Amino acid sequence: MDTEALKKYSALHPKPAGLTLQYGTAGFRTKAEQLDHVMFRMGLLAVLRSKAMASTIGIMVTASHNPEEDNGVKLVDPLGEMLHPSWEEYATQLANAEEQELQKIITEICQKAAVNQDKDASVFIGRDTRPSSKKLSQSVIDGISVLGGQYHDYGLVTTPQLHYMVCCQNTQGQYGKATLEGYYEKLSKAFTELIKRSPSSGESQRHLKIDCANGIGALKLSEMQPYFPKEVQIHLYNDGTKEKLNHLCGADFVKVHQKPPRGLAMKPNERCCSFDGDADRIVYYYKDATGHFHLIDGDKIATLISIFLKELLAKLGQTLKMAVVQTAYANGSSTRYLEETLKVPVHCVKTGVKHLHHKAQEFDVGVYFEANGHGTVLFSKVAETKIRQLAKEEKDDEKREAAKVLENMIDLINQTVGDAVSDMLVIEAILALKGLTVQQWDAIYTDLPNRLLKVQVADRRVIDTTDAERRAVTPPGLQEKIDALVKNYKLSRAFVRPSGTEDVVRIYAEADTQENADALAHEVSLAVYHLAGGKGAPPQP
């Protein structure tokens, strides 16, 4: 390691005094002007991780659905998955180190993680459309170069596209070609194969309005448009030419505010969807004939995909195990429908994509979505091999046909991470193949009315949870109080959990009516305020 070069370059990317940051599920995220030193140091870390794994590592410069003035960075592990938790710890140490300790901390990481300094390092870089992203990705490149790493800068890409490229590279092209063309070709070929099997294929055009959150999704969808079959017409809104990223638009805005984004006019019963700023989340919605807005969130997306895959798996007559993974935020109606009507096992895990992804890997077919619209489907190696074999060799026509549809589904789904473009094509293909309208999809089950609230507290660590965050262990008496409140309402449940990023406690409640869900959420928020050290004025109804 060239200590002089490290000193010289590190001084060009100084750390603001007194700033400490934490690497979480979303990597690092904060105001863009505070991130220069972090980007440089994550360039360093990516080189170390690459040497430790003898694989290409990805670095994505994005702050997803945050406001335009924020930015962030996350590392991508060899198979396109999120950075390993033990390395999140190293990332935090490195980002917060004082200038003079950098060398020492790098040496410590190398020892602890058995990094072979003589190995080559290779890093793929991508960035979103924020004004600060280009300069910040240059700081990443400085970090990679100081430690002698090789890099390929993909420039503007969606977060899931970078995850995809990293996986392609490290599977020696088995997962696909590590280029944007490779991505567009693989997805569009699978999508075209599926669409031509649909009952109304060729006769009617399918229209879809897409709110691109004024982000990277718009750029990449317009690049991909020539690859789409002519039956599918997509119309892009909030394409980033006029307005600010994520401002009054995007999947997060629509989900939180339960209303359409700015800049997209809806006619009754038109299918619409929103991506988030880096295109790794998607939600659908429509307005009915009376002008009432209907949101179709991640739970309903998971349900649609599960219904479709379950039918196909049943036709195969194989013993492949399928399950759905949710968090405590999943609407109770979706859980009930999946378990009782569809008879698919449902598993609840802690909030955070990495927990869902990890659990979904335990099954032959693991479907996971967060209610916010981030999710995908994972197929085990065994399941994938079996399906591809049946698609080729099965004598029975119906079985072979089912296997072919599943094979195209495997190719259409981005298994590395939730991907708005891929998920959108999966949904469009299923709706076409099943001949479903957006209203019929929405009517599969009715969401229980719910309410999300947050309460400011002096210290979020006073709340500790268990049972996938559904029950509070501390402070004493809080869970008993919540249990007593829940008993007063029909079809009700409520839980509280500390935020991962700020001193607030998040509260979720659902019940048979909106009025009751609101009342329950308020009562629980008062309990949190009084028992967990609330700050400021007590919550108002």
Domain end (from 121, 156, 191): 156
Within a domain: residue 291?
no
Mean pLDDT, range 158-178, rounded to an integer: 97
- pLDDT confidence of residue 330: 96
> Residue 228 CB: number of other CB atoms within 10 A?
19
Q: Which H or E run includes 295? A: strand 293-296
For 413-513, where are the alpha helices, taking DSSP H only? Answer: 420-434, 438-442, 478-486
Is 378 within a domain?
yes
Mean pLDDT, rounded, for 287-310:
97
pLDDT at residue number 203: 56
Known binding residues for Mg(2+): 64, 276, 278, 280
Given 10, 50, 55, 64, which residue is catalytic?
Answer: 64
Alpha helix ranges (H) inside 394-468: 397-412, 420-434, 438-442
- Domain match, 14 and 107 both: yes
Q: Are 456 and 203 in contact (CB under 8 A)?
A: no
Q: What is the pLDDT of residues 300-317, one digit of tens each?
A: 999 999 999 999 999 998
**What's the rounded mean pLDDT across residues 345-369?**
96
43 found inside a domain: yes
- Domain membership of residue 177 (yes or no) is no
Q: For position 98, which CATH number holds? A: 3.40.120.10
Query: Which CA distances in Å does 8 have to 143, 237, 467?
Result: 11, 45, 49
14 with 91, same domain: the answer is yes
Is the same domain home to 474 and 331?
A: no
pLDDT at 202: 54
Which residues neighbour 380 within 8 Å (Cβ) at sequence distance 6 or greater? 361, 363, 364, 365
- In the DSSP assignment, the letter for residue 32 is G
Q: Are residues 187 and 253 in the same domain?
A: yes
380: in domain: yes
Give tens-digit pLDDT for 103-137. 999 999 999 999 988 899 999 999 999 999 999 99
Distance CA 295, CA 275 (A): 14
Contacts of 21 (CB under 8 A, 6+ apart): 28, 30, 34, 38, 92, 95, 96
Same domain, yes or no: 214 and 346: no
**In this model, does residue 437 exceed pLDDT 90?**
yes
Q: What angle do CA 149, 154, 160 make, to 5 degrees?
A: 110
pTM for the structure as a whole: 0.94
Split at pLDDT 50, 70, 90, the class of 3 is confident
Residue 261 belongs to some domain of the structure: yes
Q: SS3 of 232, please?
A: strand
Answer yes or no: is 35 within a domain: yes
- 146 with 212, same domain: the answer is no
Read off the pLDDT band of 204 (50, 70, 90). Answer: low
What is the residue range of 503's domain?
Answer: 450-532
At 38-80, the pLDDT tens digits run 999 999 999 999 999 999 999 999 999 889 999 999 999 999 9
Binding residues for substrate: 370-372, 497-501, 506
Structural contact between residues 395 and 250, judged by C-beta atoms closer than 8 angstroms: no
Contacts of 325 (CB under 8 A, 6+ apart): 346, 347, 348, 349, 356, 359, 360, 366, 367, 368
133 is a catalytic site residue: no
Whether residue 378 has pLDDT greater than 70:
yes
Q: Are strands 464-466 and 471-474 parallel, antiparallel or unpaired?
A: antiparallel
Please check whether residue 208 is in contact with residue 271, taking contact to mean a CB–CB distance below 8 angstroms: yes
158: alpha, beta or left, given left = phi > 0 and alpha = psi -120 to 50? beta
My answer on whether 17 and 105 are in the same domain is yes
Residue 166: inside a domain: no
Q: Answer yes or no: do 316 and 385 share one domain.
A: yes
SS3 label, residue 218? helix
pLDDT at 373: 96
Counting residues of the chain whose pLDDT is more than 90, the rounded percentage is 91
Q: If you average pLDDT over residues 77-91, what whole number do you get?
A: 95
Give the domain CATH number at 410. Answer: 3.40.120
Q: Choose the final residue of a domain: 443, 471, 486.
A: 443
Write down the residue that tokens 């990094």 correspond to: 115
Share of the chain above pLDDT 70, in %: 99
User: Across all residues in the chain, what is the average pLDDT?
Assistant: 95
Tell me the binding residues.
64, 276, 278, 280, 370-372, 497-501, 506
CATH number, domain with residue 466: 3.30.310.50
Q: Where among 409, 443, 477 does a domain terminate? A: 443
Q: What per-residue string of b and e applies to 242-259 under the rule 16 or more CB within 10 Å gives b?
A: ebbbbbbbbbbbbbeeee
pLDDT of residue 242: 92
> Would you call 18 helix, strand, or coil by DSSP?
coil
| Interval 472-517: pLDDT, tens | 999 999 999 999 999 999 999 999 999 877 789 999 999 999 999 9
- pLDDT for 499 equals 86
- Same domain? For 134 and 51 the reply is yes
With 80 as the cut, is the pLDDT of residue 201 above it?
Answer: no
The DSSP call for residue 99 is G
Question: Does residue 460 share a domain with residue 439?
Answer: no
Residues 415 and 506 in one domain: no
Shared-domain flag, residues 96 and 148: yes
Q: Vertex 30, ends 29 and 31: CA angle to 5°?
A: 145
pLDDT score recorded for residue 230: 85
Cα(first)–Cα(last) distance of the chain, in Å? 60
Query: Number of structural domains, the chain?
Result: 4
Q: What is the average per-residue pLDDT within 358-373?
A: 96
Burial 272-310 (b: 16+ CB within 10 A, else e): bbbbbbbbbbbbbbbbeeeeeebbbbbbbbbbbbbbbbb
Q: Is the predicted pLDDT of residue 81 greater than 90, yes or no?
A: yes
Output 231 or 367, whichever has higher pLDDT: 367
Mean pLDDT, to the nearest integer, of 150-154?
Answer: 98
